[in-house]
Amino acid sequence: MKVIWIEVLRFLKNNIKYIISGALLFGLILGASSYFLDRGNPNLEVRNENTLVDGDGKSAIFNFYIENQDGTVYTNTSIIEQYMLMDKTLMELNNFTETDVYKLFQKELETDYSRTPEDRGVLGVLKNPYSQRMSIVSNTGNEEDNMKIVQYFSELMKNNQIDFLETKNIYYFEDPMLVESLDTSSTIINDEDDDLNITSIIIRVISGMVLGIVIVIGIVLMKALFSKNLNYSFSYSWDENDIFFLSDSKLDNSKELKQFVNFPIESNKLIVTENRTEAKIHEFLSVSNHDNLKFLNSITEINSLDSIGEVIILIQSNVTSRGWYKKQRRALKLINIPIKIVQINN
């Protein structure tokens, strides 16, 4: 299990730059493409086909700006809008202004009216993302009722009657007024919708990064499995009766390697390797008994295996060729002899 873990970590380490690059690339592509496709797709735009209010009177609007006590900008329009649309608040508003705002909002809920950055329904809050100016907007279809509603909230704020705003510094631009239309096409949005858009983009970027990691790992794994040279122990196969040994600096197992090669001492061994000379093999394996070792570059070079007790195939990671290894395996299928495989990680 430890051998597999080391090989997996080595695989990830060797390909980390490709994995990171792929994750960033796919994340940016998916995030950007999804964002622009959503913006340009008319089928994704929210359209309210049903008529929410009767009448075509002008909307009323009340503009203001809020700061926290430390001077930072207060931007939570969502909580202000939620407060305004609570049943208790709407009932008090309804009774005080003698309007049908409560009934109209209930109709909005019943019809699943879709609020958009440009249309906050009967009553809502908008925010300019550049100046951070907020606006309470009423659109009941009746101009007189609209003015009563925004004036009601204007008085609440100016008299510090909204609990969570009592500690805030509120600045007022002008008195409540009627407007022909709201210029929301480029500047005024609701922060809840803005947060949803940002969250959606972040989710898509993360999803793209995860997808990129999976795809890149899949690509480099396929490359490892079909590469010209053998690099990882999981990229080539051996018989279930073979004995495998991994020589890696992280395992610090040079002594175990010496024992693995020499045992059993009385057995004659054939070491087959594609790339190293006999002297270098002796030096690397640190074998003490050279008399029972025979070295070849291919199993096909030996005329007889009668005196050989076992065959050791020596593989150097990213050096030994896959074609050479397959050739040795084909030849060994015809021989009934114990086989050891030693992989040396450079």
Per-residue pLDDT reduced to its tens digit, 134-146 = 999 998 888 999 9
Poorest-pLDDT segment among 89-93, 128-132, 230-234: 128-132
Residue 185 has pLDDT above 50, yes or no: no
DSSP codes of every residue in 206-229? HHHHHHHHHHHHHHHHHHHHT-SB
Largest CA distance in the chain: 110
Confidence of residue 244 (pLDDT cuts 50, 70, 90): very high
Three-class DSSP category at 25: helix
pTM above 0.75, yes or no: no
Give tens-digit pLDDT for 252-282.
877 888 888 878 777 788 889 887 655 556 6
- Residue 146 carries which side chain, given as an amino acid letter? N
Pairing of strands 59-67, 134-138: antiparallel
Residue 293 tokens, joined = 């070792």
Query: Which of the two residues, 153 and 189, has the higher pLDDT score?
Result: 153
Query: Quick one: which of 120, 112, 29, 139 has its CA closest to 82?
Result: 120
Q: Cα–Cα distance between 328 and 305 in angstroms, integer?
A: 14
Give tens-digit pLDDT for 34-72.
666 555 444 444 444 455 566 667 889 999 999 999 999
Three-class DSSP category at 194: helix
- At 226 the pLDDT is 92
Q: Cα–Cα distance between 138 and 140 in angstroms, integer?
A: 6
Cis status, amide bond into 117, omega within 30 of 0: no
